[in-house]
């Protein structure tokens, strides 16, 4: 678990991220059981995290850096490490300090490319127009780049 050579393996970074997510989710009022389910770990592991045990400080440090990367890098790196959409969503949502407001202009043609490219699964089609749930938007701007009609606007919101 704790590497004596000082360089954590990817799964150690993942546990660092899960630690941060567990802490933040608990602050938001979720039970340990819920946290465990969302992160795919044992409830006892959650309890250990919250009590400061079973941790590598290096893992946590690195995880903290990741959460402060620009949203696209945070998102893509987390997904590359975890390879699971739901867990990625949970970690990014709970660890990202930034908030975004997404809007779709009337120039949207309903092609669905944004839906296919959104890793946070924040977008749906309604009457031939994309609808983005800003709650889940992590500001990665992938949809903005992919949109063939430049119809998406993402603003960072001060909170």
Q: Which of 102, 115, 140, 143 binds another protein (CB under 8 A)?
A: 115
Q: Which of 86, 116, 133, 153 binds another protein (CB under 8 A)?
A: 116
Q: State the nearest-atom distance from the C-beta of 38 to another protein, in Å.
A: 22
Q: Does 127 bind another protein (CB under 8 A)?
A: yes
Q: State the nearest-atom distance from the C-beta of 124 to another protein, in Å.
A: 9
CA angle 44, 46, 47 (to 5 degrees): 65
Question: Considering all CA atoms of the chain, what is the largest pairwise distance in Å, rounded to the nearest integer?
Answer: 57
Strand partners, 130: 125
CA separation (Å) from 88 to 20, 25, 103, 105? 13, 14, 23, 28
Is residue 48 within a helix (H) or strand (E), and if so which, with residue range?
A: helix 43-50
Segment contacting another protein by CB under 8 A, of 13-21, 68-76, 115-123, 132-140: 115-123
Q: State the nearest-atom distance from the C-beta of 46 to another protein, in Å.
A: 32
Q: Does 149 bind another protein (CB under 8 A)?
A: yes
Closest to 46 measured CA to CA, from 28, 32, 64, 57 = 32
Q: Does 129 bind another protein (CB under 8 A)?
A: yes
By the criterion CB under 8 A, which residues form the site for another protein?
Answer: 106-113, 115-117, 127-129, 148-149, 151
């Amino acid at each position: 678990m704790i590497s004596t050579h000082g360089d954590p393996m990817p799964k150690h970074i993942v546990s660092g991220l899960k630690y941060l997510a567990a802490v933040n989710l608990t602050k938001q009022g979720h039970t340990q059981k819920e946290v465990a389910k969302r992160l795919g770990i044992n409830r006892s592991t959650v309890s250990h995290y919250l009590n400061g045990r079973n941790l590598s400080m290096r893992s946590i440090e690195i995880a903290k850096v990741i959460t402060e990367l620009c949203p696209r890098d945070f998102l893509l790196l987390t997904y590359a490490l975890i390879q699971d959409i739901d867990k990625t969503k949970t970690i990014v949502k709970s660890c990202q300090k930034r908030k975004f407001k997404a809007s779709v202009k009337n120039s949207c043609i309903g092609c669905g490319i944004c839906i296919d490219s959104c890793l946070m699964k924040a977008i749906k089609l309604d009457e031939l127009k994309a609808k983005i749930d800003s709650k889940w938007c992590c500001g990665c701007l992938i949809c903005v780049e992919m949109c063939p009609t430049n119809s998406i606007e993402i603003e960072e919101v001060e909170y």
